[in-house]
Amino acid sequence: MLEINNLHASVVDIEDSQILNGIDLKIGKGEVHAIMGPNGSGKSTLANVLMGRPDYEVTDGDVTFDNESILELRADQRAHLGMFLAFQYPAEIPGVRPWQFLKAALDSKAEARGEEKMSVRNFSKLFDEKVEAVGINPTLVKRSLNEGFSGGEKKRNEMLQLEVLQPSLAILDETDSGLDVDALRIVAEGVNSMRSPERSFIVVTHYQRLLNYIEPDVVHILVKGKIVKTGGPELALEVEKDGYKEYLDAAAAGANA
Amino acid sequence: MTNQNTISRESDLSGGEYKWGFVTDVETDLAPKGLSEDIVRLISAKKEEPEWLLDYRLKAYAHWVELEKNDAEPTWAMIDYPGIDYQDIYYYAAPKGTNEAPKSLDDVDPEMLETFEKLGIPLQERAALAGVAVDAVFDSVSVATTMEKQLGELGIIFCSFSEAVKKHPELIKKYLGSIVPYTDNFFAALNAAVFSDGSFAYIPPGVKCPIELMTYFRINTEGSGQFERTLIVADKGSYVSYLEGCTAPFRKTSQLHAATVELVALDDAEIKYSTIQNWFPGTKEGEGGVYNFVTKRGRADKNAKISWTQVETGSAITWKYPSVILKGDNSVGEFFSVALANNHQQADTGTKMIHIGKNTKSTIVSKGISAGKGNNTYRGQVQIMPGAENAVNHTQCDSLLVGDECGAHTVPYIEVRNPTARLEHEASTSKVSDDQLFYLMARGLSEEEAHHMIITGWSRDVIKELPFEFALEASQLLKVSLEGAVG
Ligand SMILES: Nc1ncnc2c1ncn2[C@@H]1O[C@H](COP(=O)(O)OP(=O)(O)OP(=O)(O)O)[C@@H](O)[C@H]1O
Ligand SMILES: [Mg+2]
C-alpha cells in the first residue's frame, strides 16, 4: 500500500535543516505499524511529509501509494487517494462548524473520485452516529472547529473525522497523547473496528499502553530521522523499559565515526 | 422556488471572474452629459415631479455648486482616485418606452426581463413563490414592482421612489431629507439634486411586514451615474426587513454611484437593512470599476431598532458609513459589515453611532478582508451625547490579510460626553495561517475551498445576520471575489 524509499526531507528555505535522513518503510494492506521515538526525532515531520505539507521539501528518495509516486501531489489530492492524517496539533478554524467542514471534505473527495455526494440527510445520520461513537459532547460540534477545544477534545474530534472519512491509510500522530483512560479506549476501539484487510494504519505514539489495545503488526523506532530498529510488539515493551538511550548512543557513535 | 433561484445564481458564480458584465441593448433615453440647472430641471420634468420637489433639487444643486467651487469633495478617506469629472457623466438615462410605467410584465421589454433573469432576480411568479417583492430599478426608472397588491392589503407601501412621489407626496414631503439633509455632505448634495430613482417603503403602525422587501439596482448605460434614493419609514411598532443587491456591467471606464438612503424607525419599530454590494470592482489591473459614494443613515426613536448588515465585495472604491442616530430612549443601533478589497480595490467603510437618548445601545461588528493589492479601512465613530445616560457601545473590528501586498487600517473615533457611558472596543488583525490551510487541505479541500472556508468562517458573525438566501449568496460572492488572490 505505502512504500517509503530512502526518504530525505528538510525544511523549505532553511539551510542544513535536514530532518529525515533516509527512511525506508513498507506498509502492506491491512497492516498496523507503530512508530516510536524520542521527542524531536522526526515522527511528526514524517507524518506531515507523507501528507504533503508544503513546509517540507523532499530532497531524496520516493514515496509511493498503491505503486504510484505521490510526491508531486498536493495534500488534497493525497486525501482523495484515501490518505488521512490525525494531527498531533489540530488547527483551530473560527466560525467553521465541524459538520460543515466534514461534509465539505467528504464532498470534495467524492467529487475528485467521480462518486456521488452523500445526501445531507444521510450525512447527518452518519455524523450523529459517529459523534456518539467517539464520545464527543454534542454541544462541541456546534462550536467552531477545534476552537477552544481541550487537548483531549481535539483528539476525539480527529477520531470523528477519521471515522467519517474512512480512509484507506490512516496516520495517527500521537492521537493518544493527553487522553483520559476512557478516551484512550475509544481511540483504540475506533481503530480496531476500522481495521480491515483493505485499510492500513501508521500509529505514532510514545506509550506502549496504547499498543495494549491496538496490537501493531510491526513496531519501528525512529531516531534522528532514521529508522534504527524494526520488530514486533515486544519492541514497544523493551522501549518502555529501557528508553532510547541505546539507540541514541549508537546514533551518536555513528555520527562520530 | 427560492431554492431554484439561489441555485441559478450560484451556478452563475461558480465559474469565477465577474459574471455580471453583460450590457443590455435597449434603446436608451439619454440626457446630454454634464450637470447644470437645466439638467436638474430636465430630470424633474421627465419624472413629472411636483414643484416642491423641483425646488428641493434646485436648492440642493445650488448648494452642491458652492461645495464644488470650494473644493469640498471629501478627501479625508483613505482612498486614492483620479478626480471625478462631474461634467463627463450622464445624469439621466431611461430605457425608452418606460416613461409610462408598465401595467404588467407583458409591457416590459423582453430583453430587460432577460437581464433580470441573468441577474437571478426573482421576478414574476418566482417572486411570489420565493416570498420576495422586487422593486427592480433599471438605470433610472423602476420597471416593475411585484407583490404590491398583497402588501397593499396590509397597508404596506413598497414602490419606486418616483411612484411614491406621485402617489404618496405627503409622506415623501415629510421625510425626504429629514435624516440626510442635502447639506450633509458633497455627495448627499449631488444626490439630492439629481437622484434618479430608488425604493420607498412605508410600514403602517403595528404591522410586521411578512416578507423580505428586495431591490436590485443596476447601472447599465455606459458613463451614466446612478443616484439612488431610498426612503424607508417604519411607523410605530412595525417591523420590516429590506434587502438590497447591486451589480453593474463590466466597463473599462469608471462609473459613479452616489446613493442616499434614509431610514426612519418610529417608536418601537424595527428596520433590518441588508446589502450585498457587488458593483463591478474594476479589472485585475485596476482599470474601471464603480466609484461607490454612499450616505446611509437611520433614526431610531423610542425603543426602536435599526440594523445595518452589509457585505461589500464590489466597487473599485467604496466610501460608505451606514449610521444610526439613536434619538429615542432605549433605542438600539447595529452595524454588521464584511468588506473585501482584492486586486486594486479600495474600501473605506464603517459606521457612525450617535447616542442621544437614554439607555441607548449600539453594536458594531466590522470584518475587513484585504487581498491582492487591496486596501481596507474601517472608519467608525461612536458619539455619546450629554443626555445619553447609560449608553452602551460594543465595537469589534477585525482585519484579515490574504497575501502580503494588501493593507488594513482601523480609524475609530470615540467621543464621550456623558460619564455613565460604557464602551468596549476590540480589534484584531490576522492572517490565514499555513496550519489552517494544511489542515483543511489534508482533509481533501482544494486550496481555494480551504481559503473560502476559513474566510467565510471568519466572517460568520456578520453573515449569520443576513437572511438565509442572501447568506448563501454572500458566501459565494466572497469566494468569487477572492479568486486569483489565492493559490
Ligand atoms: N517547520 C519546521 N521548521 C523548523 N524546524 C522544524 C520544523 N518542523 C520540524 N522541525 C524540527 O525537526 C525536528 C523533528 O520534529 P518533529 O516534530 O518531527 O518531532 P517528533 O518526533 O514528532 O517529536 P515529538 O515526539 O515531540 O512530537 C525537531 O527538532 C523540530 O524542531
Ligand atoms: Mg510529533
Q: Where residue A213 sits, what CATH number does that domain have?
A: 3.40.50.300
Identify the band that residue B481 occupies on the pLDDT scale cut at 50, 70 and 90: confident
Interface contact flag, B457 A76, Cβ < 8 Å: no
Instruction: Tell whether the model's pLDDT for residue A11 goes beyond 80.
Output: yes
pLDDT score recorded for residue B107? 59
Residues of chain B above pLDDT 90, percent = 44
Q: Which residue has the higher pLDDT, B131 or A185?
A: A185
Q: How many CB pairs under 8 A join A and B?
A: 87
Exposure b/e, B134-163, CB count within 10 A at least 16 = b = bbbbbbbbbbbbbbeeebeeeebbbbbbbb
pLDDT, residue B23, reads 54
Does A52 contact chain B (CB < 8 Å)? yes
- Per CB-CB distance under 8 Å, the chain A contacts of B369 are none
Torsions phi, psi of B194, nearest 5?
-125, 15
Q: What is the pLDDT of residue B99?
A: 45
Query: Which among A90, A108, A161 has CB closest to B445?
Result: A108
Q: Both ends of chain B: CA-CA distance in Å?
A: 36
Choice between B17 and A180, residue whose per-residue pLDDT is larger: A180
Looking at the complex, report in whole angstroms how far the Cα of residue A117 sits from the nearest Cα belonging to chain B: 14
Which of A56, A53, A50 has its CA nearest to residue A83? A50
Which atom of ligand 1 lies at the shortest distance from residue A88's CA? 27
Between B32 and A219, the more confident residue is A219
User: What is the whole-number distance in angstroms between the Cα of residue A21 and the centre of ligand 1?
Assistant: 13
The band of B301, judged by pLDDT with boundaries at 50, 70 and 90, is very high
Under the banding of pLDDT at 50, 70 and 90, the label for residue B190 is: very high
Residue among A44, A50, A222 to mutate when testing ligand 1 (max atoms within 8 A of CB): A44
Nearest CA to ligand 1 atom 19: A40
Q: Quick: pLDDT tens for B4-19.
A: 222 222 223 233 455 5
Residues of B in contact with A108 (CB under 8 A): 443-446, 449
* pTM attached to this predicted model: 0.81
Whether B487 and chain A come into contact, CB under 8 Å, resolves to: no
State the pairing for strand pair B346-355/B323-326: parallel
Average pLDDT over residues B440-457: 93
Nearest C-alpha neighbor of A155 from the set A138, A130, A133, A172: A172
The CA–CA distances, whole Å, from B186 to A32, B225, B295, B321 equal 72, 15, 10, 14
Domain count along chain A? 1
Q: Which residues surround ligand 2, an ion (CB under 5 A)?
A: A 43-44, 88
Across the strands, what pairs with B270? B239, B305
| Ligand 1 atom closest to A41 (CA) | 21
* SS3 at position B339: strand
- Note the ipTM here: 0.96
- The pLDDT > 90 percentage for chain A reads 69
- Among B residues 444-473, those touching chain A with beta carbons less than 8 Å apart: 444-447, 449-450, 453-454, 456-461
- In the reported structure, the alpha carbon of residue B447 is separated from the centroid of ligand 2 by a whole-number distance in angstroms of 25
The residues that bridge with B318 in the sheet, in sequence order, are B292, B347
Cα separations in angstroms, A88 against B135, B352, B449 = 54, 45, 23
Q: Taking CB atoms and an 8 Å cutoff, what residues of chain B touch A52?
A: 441-442
Residue A256: phi and psi, rounded to 5, are: -80, -25
Q: Which residue intervals of chain A are DSSP H helices? A: 43-51, 75-81, 98-112, 120-133, 151-165, 181-194, 208-213, 234-242, 245-256
For range B332-341, the mean pLDDT: 93
Q: Chain A neighbours among B 419-438 (CB < 8 Å)?
A: 433-436, 438
- What confidence tier does B132 reach under pLDDT thresholds 50, 70, 90? low
A44 touches chain B (CB under 8 A): no
Contact A87 B439 (CB under 8 A): yes
Instruction: Give the Å distance between the CA of A206 and the centre of ligand 1.
Output: 15
What is the Rg, in whole angstroms, of the alpha carbon atoms belonging to chain B?
21
Nearest to B445 among A87, A92, A104 (CB): A104
CA–CA distance, A191 with A186 (Å, rounded to integer): 9
Q: Note the pLDDT of residue B106.
A: 60
Owning domain of residue A75: 2-256
Q: Give the pocket of ligand 1 (CB within 6 Å).
A: A 11, 19, 37, 39-45, 55, 88
- Mean of pLDDT over chain B: 81
Distance CA B386, CA B421 (A): 10
Please, are residues B313 and B278 in contact by the beta-carbon 8 Å criterion?
Answer: yes
A56-65 β-sheet, strand order: A18-27, A2-11, A56-65, A68-69
Among A76, A144, A165, the residue with its CB nearest the CB of B457 is A144
**A51 interfaces chain B, CB cutoff of 8 Å:** yes
- 8 Å CB contact of A95 and B456: yes
Residue-level pLDDT at B3: 27
Interface touch A85/B447, C-beta < 8 Å: no
